[in-house]
Amino acid sequence: MTTAALPTDRTPRRRDIWRRIGRSWPWYLFILPNVIGFVAFGLLPLLAVLALSFYHWYLFTDPSFIGIRNYVSLAGDVGFQTALRNTAVYAVLTVAPGSIIALGLALIVNQSIRGVTLFRVLFFIPVVTSITVITYLWNWIYTPDETGPLNYLIHLVGIGPQQWLQNPTLALPSLAAFAIWSSAGYTMILWLAGLQTVPMELYEAASVDGAGRLRRFWHITLPVLKPTTIFIVMVGTIGALQMFGPTYLMTGGGPGIATTSAVYWIYQNAFLLFQMGRAAAGTTILFVIILCIALLQRRFLGWTDELY
């Protein structure tokens, strides 16, 4: 009886791997810079944050291992939970409305009309302008008394002055409106790129068959835009969940903690309170949440590799 040699010894396999690497080393050389960059600035910090989340580390003292105590502490931390809730509300307020508004803008600037390039540029200006500059502008727009431009406009329709950033009910929607305005140009460009891939023949054929504008949009444009839609929704959601700039520059997390986002909470804990372990635990939780949402979106929005 003969017995076939089982591949229990891993050495030959390893040799195979090294042989294959040896054969195709130029290809590995091509991807090496990116791999180095990813490992140095992506993977290692990620692992460091994960490790740090199990430590008590007040920046001025030595870190000490405390197991999962940071996570247990965050589970009962009202401030962190509020920050997560604010972040979720902000994502809901910005992603879908922002995408729809940007699609509207893209449909407008996709027309063959005189001066369309000017409008494209105008809509894109906020994207290339410093966030500090545009927050100054919006702080002025949101001036809480009758001298504020927005309050002046609502005064014309008989509504009294509102404290846009000082009122806990209005503050988060006000930040969301600012975010939609400031990112609309970028999202518009993505939609525009998608729109320009729609074959004109489809529209012509549909027109011949008597389809109106709305039906053409619904049955041709939207299906063709599916990959763009998925990209915009996923990237938009991830961006919204990482919201920091508007809070930092416009409200400082207030009034109370009404606009404190998860990332702002992490920033406060890391760089104002110097509690690196807690901040790392918060970061890890946020990372897991974003990962889960992205995976769910990928599944339910019908992502397939054939889309790209």
Residue 99 Cβ vs another protein, minimum distance, rounded to whole Å? 28
Buried b (16+ CB within 10 A) or exposed e, 200-222: eebbeebeeeebeeeebeeebbe
* Complex with another protein: residue 166 or 297, whichever CB lies closer: 166
Residue 251 Cβ vs another protein, minimum distance, rounded to whole Å? 6
* Complex with another protein: residue 28 or 218, whichever CB lies closer: 28
Residue 13 Cβ vs another protein, minimum distance, rounded to whole Å? 23
Half-sphere exposure of 139 (CA within 13 A, CB side): 13
Q: For residue 187, is it left (φ>0), alpha (ψ between -120 and 50) or beta?
A: alpha
* Complex with another protein: residue 64 or 304, whichever CB lies closer: 64
Residues that bind another protein (CB under 8 A): 23, 25-27, 29, 33, 56, 58-61, 64, 66, 73, 135-136, 139-140, 143-145, 163, 165-168, 249-257, 268, 271-275, 278
User: Distance (Å, rounded) from C-alpha 131 to C-alpha 182?
Assistant: 8
CA 217 to chain centre: 27
* Complex with another protein: residue 22 or 115, whichever CB lies closer: 22
Residue 163 Cβ vs another protein, minimum distance, rounded to whole Å? 6
Residue 279 Cβ vs another protein, minimum distance, rounded to whole Å? 12
* Complex with another protein: residue 190 or 270, whichever CB lies closer: 270
DSSP label of 194 = H
Q: Which long-range contacts (CB under 8 A, 24 or more apart) does 139-146 make?
A: 139/165, 139/250, 142/174, 142/250
